[in-house]
Amino acid sequence: MEELQTSLRVTASRFLRSVKHFLSSEVGGTAKLLTASLVVFFLAINGLNVLNSFVGRNFMTAIVDRQVAEFARQAVFYLLVFAASTTVSVFARFTEERLALLWRDFLTRRAVNLYLTDRAFYRLDVSGELSYPDQRISEDIRAFTVTTLSFLLLIFSSGLTILSFSGVLLSINPVLFAVAFIYAACGSLLTVWLGRPLIKLNYDQLDKEASFRTGLVRARENAARITLSGTERHMKSFLAGRIDDLVANFRVITSVNRNVGFFTTGYNWLIQIIPALIVAPAFFRGDIEFGVITQSAAAFAMLVGAFSLIINQFNSISNFAAVVARLSTLSAAIENPRQHVRSEIQIDDTGEGLVYEKLTILSERDDAPLLRELTVAIPSCARVLVTGREDQENAFFRVTAGFAYPGSGRIFRPANAGIRFLPQQPYLPPSTLRQLIVPSDAGAENLDERISRLLTEFGLERISAAGGFEQVVEWDTLLTPREQQLLAMASVSVAKPRVIVLERTAATVGQDEVRKIITRFAEDGIACVHIGNVAEISLYDAILKFADDGAWQWRKRT
């Protein structure tokens, strides 16, 4: 019971927060209109249900009394009520789906925006504090919006049903109303007691399913390397373990569902006979018409169904509680991405160039000093080589890019497009050539000619022939690592930032290409910081060298 209460509190908090953001957003007006339409539709459905109970009562009484004319008249009423109920129900379902889609679209875009802002996705990946955020954003948000809206409408509909059919049952037999209330209350308590383990089980099942899907994705993405290394057996064993985990957990879920099912199935069967057991004696005495028996059965079923929301929806509620818990942790993690970062290194994006002031970087593993008290200003248009151990170079590159590392000091750098970073293995997102190479604020004149000349200059003529300028291309599958690096550099030469920071570029494109590109950057007025050991140090204006103990040496070349 305590788990359920906790889940309900989390559910309510998460729901109210989501609704507040949703209704105050740019789509809030549409959402309010759809919600109002749903309220009207459900009021109409409830009214038609009550009307239908009375039409059915008169219809059955006309049959028993052999009143042909009345039978025909009530049959026409029946058909009209059925037609109206069908029309209203279909439009209500359509409106509900549209509202759920609108809500999902809003929440998903908001989550993706937060996930990809301020490097939250990277911090979550490194820290490991959140499992499978991709599934939470795609699947859990869909389940949250659809299920939440469905539950709200069920609660609203149940409330209307209780108000409407309580009067019907009280007018037939007050005892019948009391039995409906007590029966539903006892059934709800027993269902909660039997099914309470499902909340945690369903939470774990979502993670285990995601783990299995992630393993399949890894197998597909690394198919060539798995084949060449002959590790198919290990991958089979890994995936078999993931299958074992999800199957074992689901077996427990099915066992709990079985126990709940024994009770809820019997509970629902008894609903059909209880009204007749209570009302039939009055019919035998001649106190009521036969149609009252069928009306009482229908009203009793409707009322108990409204009271029994937890019983009828418990499996969905337990799944929903798991989804809410996962989304709550996702929201906390992506909205507060810096809460686990222990770095005191400050990044100031108001600088004209790249300046390091008393920068100290410590190892993430053991806090050993990688760099001590670095104070250096990178001159404009300078070509600077940075060398040291691999872990020192990696940390220096990432800290300069704004990644959190333990340490202290300050880094002044240009804002936004004023500085660019090219790792040894750059990522080129699926896009057209124009989107990838030309800045969004660039003029549209002679774009194709400019891109073609640029590709020729960087030895990438085949790219325009393979992908053209209009087609969206997945560059990581079309191009070799060397071509991806050259294409990234081509986009830098167009953007013309104040500073470009390269990571071991010579290992990917070759020393001759590096010489040509760095010379071009210098001619364009771009300061170039190249991190990594190279053979040709005469190409650089200054060298920044890190010693094993974290000391550093800055040497200008004349």
pLDDT of residue 387: 92
Q: Where are the beta strands (DSSP E) in 293-401?
A: 346-348, 354-362, 369-378, 383-387
Interval 121-156: pLDDT, tens:
666 665 555 666 766 777 777 777 777 777 777 777
Average pLDDT over residues 208-227: 78
Average pLDDT over residues 181-210: 75
Check pLDDT > 90 for residue 230.
Answer: no
Quick check: 237 and 268 in contact, CB under 8 A?
Answer: no
Quick check: 37 and 81 in contact, CB under 8 A?
Answer: no
CA distance 517 to 536: 14
Q: Judging by beta carbons within 10 Å of its beta carbon (0-12, 13-18, 19+), is residue 316 exposed, middle or buried?
A: middle
pLDDT of residue 530: 92
Q: Comparing 39 with 312, which gets the higher pLDDT? A: 39
Check pLDDT > 80 for residue 95.
Answer: yes
Interval 461-484: pLDDT, tens:
777 655 556 777 777 778 888 888
Q: Comparing 558 with 244, which gets the higher pLDDT? A: 244
CA distance 366 to 346: 21
Quick check: 506 and 534 in contact, CB under 8 A?
Answer: yes
Domains of the chain in start order, with CATH, are 2-335 (1.20.1560.10), 346-428+479-556 (3.40.50.300)
Check pLDDT > 80 for residue 271.
Answer: no
pLDDT band at 1 (very low <50, low <70, confident <90, very high): very low
